[in-house]
Every structure is written in structure tokens, then in C-alpha cells.
């Protein structure tokens, strides 16, 4: 591996590259240069919702790149106009105005810049385990990683506690997460620190990199109310949850809360670099009147926009929102069955085909991070690509997000491989001297209503 990567910059913190060099990918499978097949349970970088090399996307790229690929950033093309209109058709009022960009970080950057300009304020609130990107404003609103060692963050960025029902920090008399009291306390702390310039709250409806934390029903509406009380704009980052991944076209639909600004990326291009900022005509007009500037090399480029149109066509035609719900139920049922047999599994949670599986520490001192890393390696050896949350203390949490086009048999095969990997890893730990009974692992305290399987 060192020889292969001798000319590459390492960019994932202390993590490294995978051992395999990928040669090609098709559907739910990636193939290594030495001929191994890996079932892809992360949809690439949580993006390839139609699987790899979807034939209609391949055809769109070939046709569009031969006709019109890139333009001066002030020019418009038919694919851009069509995609903006079609996105508006998938969204509730008043979300009707779209700008197309390339990455999630870039879309969040543009959204925050717009919110600050429109409100005339500068302070931003986001979750304490958020991930919104690596560019300046997006990175300042990211708390899960990447803050240490890079100098001072921009002033006016505040962290909100995460409503984690499996590991609650504020509980009611029954020991269940009291998210209303937690939210009140969070904003009381923010108000105490604010200089009276709160501009926006940027959050994911399901925190993915933060451990696949699905916001409790009612939370998003209460958060919206907190924003309105303070004259803030609510920005929802649906990079990973948007476009049918959770079983709805957009994750915010479950709560009946419409954001002031919506950002999309990953799933919109189904693996190709395409992102969007969507807002109301009122906010867009105010931004325009104040001279909103976000002029980038690839803003509103025709080639990725054409791909986005194809993605919307396939999602709607094949009813992949419904398919994500059905496959998600199958996946979670299988994971709950595994949890009944593997005491190392502490919780199963998520929506649609964005599912979290959290492992727990062993009483022999083996921490969940180490177990998660070992299970990940064993899955790869057996032909399954899995992704653990690469945060201290969360390395035992898997983010499972197969393509929406996966088959029933592929879901079942992935579950079978994970079952074997869990048995192999925990069996090795037991053979090395760990306790050989159900109490051999220390689960987090069971939480009623956590949305998953919590062991007693």
C-alpha cells in the first residue's frame, strides 16, 4: 500500500486508504484490480443512490458531454433550466428558486453566505456532532471533526447538543431523552453567548457522520420555532437524506417543516459532482437586491445538470422512495435479528436506507471503536464494504446506506456477511480470554423509543 500511494496526499485525518485498488463498479458492487467483488453498502461516498454506472446516467453523460459540457458561469442552458423547474416540482412551497453547484460543502457555503446577507447577521448554530463540509463557513459549522490544529474558528459559531436517544444526556423521570428541555437549555446557552446577531441554524434531519442520529419527531418543528423567535433562517442540509434515501423524497417531509433554505448534493448527482441551494422567491429577491455574490467556475454547469435530470426521472418513474422504505424495513429487520444473537450490537436506528448500527464496549476492556474496526476489516475480507463513523467514541457505529436500486438478495447477502464478521471478531475476542456469555459486552443503557434495538 505504501508503494501504491507514495505520490498521494493523505486527507482523512489519521485514517488511511483502503487496501484495495478499485478497477470498476456496477450496480451495488465494486470490483478490485485483483478481481475481488465487494458489495457496496455505502453507495460510494453515500451518494450513488442509483448504484454504480447506471445505464441511463452513462447514456446521459455520453450524450451531454458530446453536445454541451461547460459554459461561462453567467450563461444558461436547457439542462439547468429544466432541473431547476423539476426540483421545484418535487418541493413544497415556497421552495422554488435553485442555484446549482458541485459539492455539499459548496452548497452549504452558499446557503450560509445568503443567510448572512439576507438577515444582516453573522452567527450560525449547528449540532455538536455536525458535518457540513471542509470549506470555510461549512467547516466552522462542523463540530464532529477537523477543528483542532487549524487556528481560530470564525467568531459567532455555536454548537447545539445532539438529541441522541440511545445515549441521552438530559433525561426525564423514566430515563428517556428529554429533548425539549435539552433544546431549551441549548438555546439558553447560545443566547447567553450571542452578540445579538443570530443569522441561521444549519442542521441535518438525520445526522449521518455524527452517528446516524434521527431527530425525534417534533424536534425539527420546535427548532424551527426557536429560529423564528430569533429572526434566524433554518437551513436543512439534505446531502445524504434528500431524494428518496429515507423513504420520503426529502427527510423534512416527515415533520411537515419546510426550511427557509435547503441544500442538496451527493444524492442529486447520484455520485457525480452536483449540488443545489433551493430557497424561496422572497429570500432570493432579498439576496439579489443586496448584491448576493457566489460566482464559481462550475455554477449551473450543463453536464452535471443533465445528470440531475436523469436522476429525478429514474427516482420518480421507479418509485424509489417507496423502494427505499421497503428495503429499509428489510434491512432493519435483519439487523434486529442479528442484534438478538450478537450482544455486541447495542442499537439499530435510522430511516429508509440510511441505517445506523451501534456496537457497544466489551466488559473485558475491548472498546467499541476497536471492535468496529475489526468487523469492518473482516467484512471487507468477506466481500462487503462497510463504513464506520470515524469519530472518537463513535467508531463502533456503522453507517449503512446501500443503493436504492439494491435487490432483496443483495440486502440479505450483506446481512449474512455482517453476521459472519461479527461472529468471527467476537469469537476471536472470546478466544483471547474475554467472557463467553451474553454479559460479555457492556451495552449502553436501553432507551425506550430510541428507534432501535437496545440490549438489556
Helix axes 179-193, 219-229, angle to 10 degrees: 20
Which of 178, 237, 248, 284 is flagged as catalytic?
A: 237
Q: Is 399 a catalytic residue?
A: yes
Angle ∠(321,324,330) on CA atoms, nearest 5 = 150
Alpha helices by DSSP H, 271-367 = 281-289, 302-317, 320-341
321, β-bridge pairs: none
Q: Phi and psi (nearest 5°) for 107?
A: -65, -40
Which of 266, 323, 349, 351 is flagged as catalytic?
A: 266
Around Cβ 255, how many Cβ atoms within 10 Å?
18
C-alpha–C-alpha distance, residues 337 and 340, integer Å: 5
Q: Is 121 a catalytic residue?
A: no
Cβ atoms of 417 and 384 closer than 8 Å: yes
Burial of 335 (0-12, 13-18, 19+ CB in 10 A): buried
Q: Is 226 a catalytic residue?
A: no
Which of 121, 131, 182, 224 is flagged as catalytic?
A: 131
Q: Is 240 a catalytic residue?
A: yes
For 239, the grid coordinates are 446531502
Cβ atoms of 39 and 21 closer than 8 Å: no
Cβ atoms of 412 and 402 closer than 8 Å: no
- 116 vs 122, 125, 361, 370, 425, CA distance in Å? 5, 12, 43, 42, 49
Q: Is 169 a catalytic residue?
A: no
Question: What DSSP state is assigned to residue 272?
Answer: B
Nearest residue to 263 via CA among 293, 228, 239: 239
Angle ∠(147,400,311) on CA atoms, nearest 5 = 95
For 197, the grid coordinates are 446577531
Which of 116, 167, 214, 240 is flagged as catalytic?
A: 240
Which of 97, 129, 399, 442 is flagged as catalytic?
A: 399
Buried residues in 153-164 as b, exposed as e (16+ CB within 10 A): eeebbbbbbbbb
C-alpha–C-alpha distance, residues 296 and 107, integer Å: 11
C-alpha–C-alpha distance, residues 138 and 56, integer Å: 33
Angle ∠(438,395,430) on CA atoms, nearest 5 = 30
Which of 123, 204, 214, 284 is flagged as catalytic?
A: 204
Residue 295 CA neighbour count, 13 Å, CB half? 9
Report the catalytic residues: 131, 204, 237, 240, 266, 399
Amino acid at each position: 500500500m505504501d508503494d501504491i500511494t507514495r505520490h498521494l496526499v493523505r486527507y482523512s485525518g489519521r485514517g488511511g486508504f483502503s487496501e484495495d485498488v478499485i478497477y470498476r463498479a456496477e450496480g451495488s458492487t465494486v470490483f478490485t484490480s485483483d478481481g475481488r467483488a465487494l458489495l457496496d453498502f455505502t453507495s460510494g461516498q453515500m451518494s450513488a443512490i442509483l448504484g454504480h454506472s447506471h445505464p441511463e446516467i452513462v447514456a446521459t453523460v455520453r450524450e451531454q458531454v458530446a453536445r454541451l459540457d461547460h459554459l461561462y458561469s453567467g450563461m444558461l442552458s436547457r439542462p439547468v433550466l429544466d432541473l431547476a423547474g423539476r426540483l421545484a416540482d418535487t418541493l413544497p412551497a415556497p421552495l422554488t428558486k435553485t442555484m446549482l453547484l458541485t459539492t455539499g460543502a459548496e452548497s452549504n457555503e452558499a446557503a450560509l453566505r445568503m443567510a448572512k446577507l439576507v438577515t444582516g447577521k453573522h452567527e450560525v448554530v449547528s449540532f455538536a456532532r455536525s458535518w457540513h463540509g471542509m470549506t470555510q463557513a461549512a467547516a466552522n459549522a462542523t463540530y464532529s471533526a477537523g477543528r483542532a490544529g487549524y487556528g481560530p474558528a470564525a467568531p459567532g459559531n455555536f454548537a447545539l447538543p445532539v438529541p441522541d436517544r440511545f445515549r441521552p444526556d438530559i433525561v426525564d423521570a423514566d430515563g428517556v431523552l428529554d429533548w425539549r428541555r435539552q433544546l431549551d437549555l441549548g438555546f439558553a446557552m447560545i443566547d447567553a453567548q450571542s452578540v445579538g446577531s443570530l443569522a441561521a441554524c444549519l442542521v441535518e434531519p438525520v445526522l449521518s457522520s455524527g452517528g446516524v442520529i434521527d431527530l425525534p419527531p417534533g424536534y425539527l418543528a420546535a427548532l424551527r420555532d426557536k429560529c423564528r423567535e430569533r429572526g434566524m433562517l433554518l437551513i436543512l442540509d439534505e446531502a445524504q437524506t434528500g431524494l428518496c434515501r429515507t423513504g420520503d423524497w426529502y427527510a423534512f417531509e416527515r415533520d411537515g417543516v419546510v426550511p427557509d433554505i435547503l441544500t442538496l448534493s451527493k444524492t442529486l448527482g447520484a455520485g457525480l459532482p452536483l449540488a443545489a441551494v433551493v430557497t424561496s422567491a422572497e429570500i432570493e429577491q432579498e439576496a439579489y437586491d443586496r448584491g448576493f455574490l457566489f460566482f464559481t467556475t462550475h455554477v449551473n454547469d450543463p453536464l452535471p445538470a443533465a445528470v440531475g435530470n436523469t436522476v429525478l426521472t429514474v427516482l420518480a418513474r421507479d418509485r424509489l422512495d417507496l423502494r427505499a422504505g421497503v428495503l429499509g424495513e428489510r434491512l432493519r429487520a435483519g439487523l434486529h435479528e442479528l442484534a438478538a444473537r450478537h450482544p455486541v450490537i447495542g442499537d439499530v436506528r435510522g430511516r429508509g436506507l440510511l441505517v445506523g448500527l451501534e456496537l457497544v464496549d466489551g466488559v473485558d476492556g475491548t472498546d467499541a471503536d476497536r471492535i468496529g474496526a475489526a468487523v469492518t476489516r473482516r467484512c471487507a475480507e468477506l466481500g462487503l464494504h462497510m463504513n464506520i463513523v470515524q469519530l472518537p467514541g463513535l467508531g463502533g457505529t456503522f453507517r449503512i446506506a446501500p443503493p436504492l436500486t439494491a435487490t432483496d438478495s443483495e440486502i440479505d447477502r450483506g446481512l449474512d456477511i455482517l453476521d459472519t464478521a461479527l461472529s468471527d471478531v467476537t469469537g476471536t475476542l472470546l478466544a483471547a480470554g474475554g467472557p463467553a456469555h451474553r454479559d460479555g459486552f457492556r451495552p449502553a443503557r436501553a432507551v425506550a423509543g430510541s428507534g432501535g434495538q437496545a440490549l438489556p
